[in-house]
Structure 1
């Protein structure tokens, strides 16, 4: 006997219309500041500003991917895609992580080249400060817009982490520009660029780990399968439970299945629907699992499937 719980909570992350609008606003801000920083990098000769502009380009690409993923993820399930298209968010996040890593390598190589060959480099510090401040403010606004949505969507989190990295990068550029303005020490620009690349790596690796955890169908972070088993065994009428599987389609969309062995009187007295309801309520209230599937089996039932 099977039953499914379909909760409204699945409409989250970039799947919601409100988050779709927030991503569009953040994209507009990011693209505008990126253009300002490219112009500023050309006028000042700053590699740090150019690196920040390149990071902005990656941010804009990430937001475009997130917007496309949001449209795809909102498509309803069909006979060939029975869970819908929520995994589009995960693939979008994977692309974001790769962009971050490639960007990091490029910045590091350019920064080292300038440190090894510093002669002839002249940077306009005051203009560099002004452009970096514009980037700092814009990224702060984008982070504020995405802060709530990133808790429930892996793809929005990818965009959020990139904006966070760029916010820190803008602060580093400001510090380097102040050093150049006050002391005339030009290598500060290359050092700032190198620091930006170093700051990107942990966030990119963290995002990749989360993507691979979802694709490998590992249990969601913080989910204790042993505790779930104890809750199920503690339900009246349950004799045993086996074949427990917990995974997630994307962040905030966990899925649960299990075979539950029930006492004979539960089936004989027609109490199976009530038992299913209790089990589903337990999963939803204690473990935030809105989609659960239980197969009820009588004591002594033998599996015919090959394991």
Structure 2
């Protein structure tokens, strides 16, 4: 019997595990920017009774809450220690955060739809200049935050969810600018309501996509970018392998795909173990556990651990 473990996560110390300090620092700065502008936008929205500004502020509130949770998740992933009860540590905390963010986005969208229906037949008096100035400031804040988060969005679901929310806010700010222009040029107060609804409609499918990505990980479905049938076929084709079974591939958290598999070997178990590990790494599965079951007479146990 042979066992092989190949781990793509450094184990040398807490400072090497999880998200980098630079990623966390950028998240903190982005959070401060969003909190400052949230206060500004919500205050102006209440003062001028603008649903578009309040809708945008509502989405920015989900940004702040989501980014706060995401920051906690990243800190837990970096510093949270593994225990007997939690052998993988806190790496999945960011997935839970992403799911919570999706729910918050959908909740804000429902609230905006409800408010828009309540305002039908009663066109609000909205100062166009206030909309334009506030939206322009919001767009500038969103662009700064997006630039800060873009590089990390591919490597972390928590950062990606925050990035998508800020992107939605940026589109919302553009919409509020358009509403302000229409109010200023034509005095059409309904532009505020229309833009608020359009912002929410634009956000809903993105929130659903984020929720689906989170749910896929939480249900331990195989990663979309991994062809499990191809992996199984390639393993079966390795020299000395006569059988492949109990192949499981799932995602622990963003960028951390895990695979376990049992291989029946007719030849040298150590050679098969090395070949299987190399093959799995070529499929992007560096965090792997391979068990070799030998058909040869006189079974013996081999163990090869690689970090």
Q: Output the TM-score relative to the length of structure 1.
A: 0.90
Once superposed, what is the RMSD of the aligned Cα atoms? 2.0
Once the two structures are superposed, what CA deviation does each residue of 1:15-56 show, in whole Å capped at 9, x if it has no partner? 322211111111011111111112221343321111111111
1:52-91 mapped onto 2 (5 Å cutoff): 52-74=56-78, 75-91=80-96
- Select which of 254, 258, 264 maps to 1:255: 258
1:180 counterpart SS class: helix
Q: Is the 8 A contact 2:82 2:89 kept in 1?
A: yes
Show structure 1 runs of 4+ deviating over 4 A: 9-14
The one of the two structures with greater contact order (alpha-carbon pairs below 8 A, sep at least 6) is 2
1:230 counterpart SS class: helix
2:253 counterpart SS class: coil
1:128-167 mapped onto 2 (5 Å cutoff): 128-167=131-170
Q: Is the 8 A contact 1:180 1:188 kept in 2?
A: yes
Structure 1, unpaired ranges of 5+: 302-307
Residue 9 of structure 1, CA deviation: 7.0
Instruction: Tell me: CA distance 1:130–1:113, structure 2 relative to 1, closer, same or farther (3 Å).
Output: same
Q: Is the 8 A contact 2:10 2:17 kept in 1?
A: no
Q: Is the 8 A contact 1:13 1:19 kept in 2?
A: no
Q: Output the TM-score relative to the length of structure 2.
A: 0.90
Once the two structures are superposed, what CA deviation does each residue of 1:97-155 show, in whole Å capped at 9, x if it has no partner? 1111111111111122222332xx21110121011011111111111111121112111
Equivalence for 1:281: 278
1:48 aligns with 2:48: no
Structure 2, unpaired ranges of 5+: 298-307
1:111 aligns with 2:116: yes
Q: Is the 8 A contact 1:44 1:125 kept in 2?
A: no
